[in-house]
Amino acid sequence: MAVQINPSILSADFARLADEAQAVRGADWLHVDVMDNHFVPNLTLGVPIVESLLKATDTPLDCHLMIEDPDRWAPQYAEVGAGSVTFHAEAAHAPVRLAREIRRLGARASMALKPATPIEPFEDLLPELDMLLIMTVEPGFGGQSFLDIMLPKIRRTRELISRHNLPIWLQVDGGVSAATIERCAEAGADVFVAGSAVYGMDDPAEAVRALRTQAERATLGAPWACAH
């Protein structure tokens, strides 16, 4: 699996989202953080803005739903055309039914884990998922420091995916930057969300290219990637 870089528009200027989407041309996906002020203590955007963004860019949308009751709300994001829909394991009541519904509506189904949520209880659900998101900060805000203590969980998750021989992407989100992306890649991540490390730079497109180069180089030397 090739490395993918997904800039998070949480760190972009919300009044200029169409321009901000253009500013990261060359990115694989745009990461869209949906927050409801309940699952996390912050409020961002919802379906209407996702619909507008879809019209403003050809880059597919990776919607990360930090919301309560995703069973009820997540399918709408697939319905309007998000290419990937991520719900949180801690919030989903029926994750298997929800993942199947997201796939039925034509999107990739993805499940996110907060830092204190282990991957192991979800091993049997892996065939239902196209991507796992390991949070490397407590969700809710951009610009937080990367949690090194998540590296073992990234390694264990990569091992589980390899053991089951499934084509699941492994995304990391939170504090991913030039200083941390290589450790994430070495541990087994192949999809990298970066907010402040992209939109905080003078040239966001160049930041995407530089992060990709770093991640690709680190992946080449990673034990988990060499085995494939």
Q: Is 195 in the site for ligand DX5 (CB under 6 A)?
A: yes
Task: State which residue has the least CB distance to ligand DX5.
Answer: 195
* Ramachandran angles phi, psi of 130, nearest 5°: -100, -20
Strand-strand pairing, 131-135 and 30-35 = unpaired
| Residue of 28, 33, 36, 62 marked catalytic | 33
Beta carbons within 10 angstroms of residue 145's beta carbon: 12
Q: Is 173 an active-site residue?
A: yes
User: Please, is 116 exposed, middle or buried when counting C-beta atoms within 10 Å of its C-beta (0-12, 13-18, 19+)?
Assistant: exposed
Using the minimum distance from each CB to ligand DX5, give the nearer residue, 143 or 221: 143
DSSP 8-state symbol, 126 = G
Interaction pattern, residues 109-148, with ligand DX5; x per rule: CB under 6 A? ----------------------------x-xxxxxx----
Nearest residue to 6 via CA among 34, 31, 32, 25: 31
Contact 18, 204 (CB under 8 A): no
Task: Report the partner that residue 21 touches, choosing among Zn ion, ligand DX5, none (CB closer than 5 to 8 A by kind).
Answer: none
Q: Which of residues 22-41 bind ligand DX5 (CB under 6 A)?
A: 31, 33
106 labelled ligand-binding = no
Is residue 203 annotated as part of the catalytic site, yes or no?
no
Query: Which amino acid appears at position 94 of this protein?
Result: A
With CB cut-offs between 5 and 8 Å by kind, which of Zn ion, ligand DX5, none does residue 85 bind? none
Residue 189 interacts with ligand DX5 (CB under 6 A): yes or no: no
Of residues 48 through 107, those in contact with ligand DX5 by CB under 6 A are 64
Residues acting as catalytic residues: 33, 173
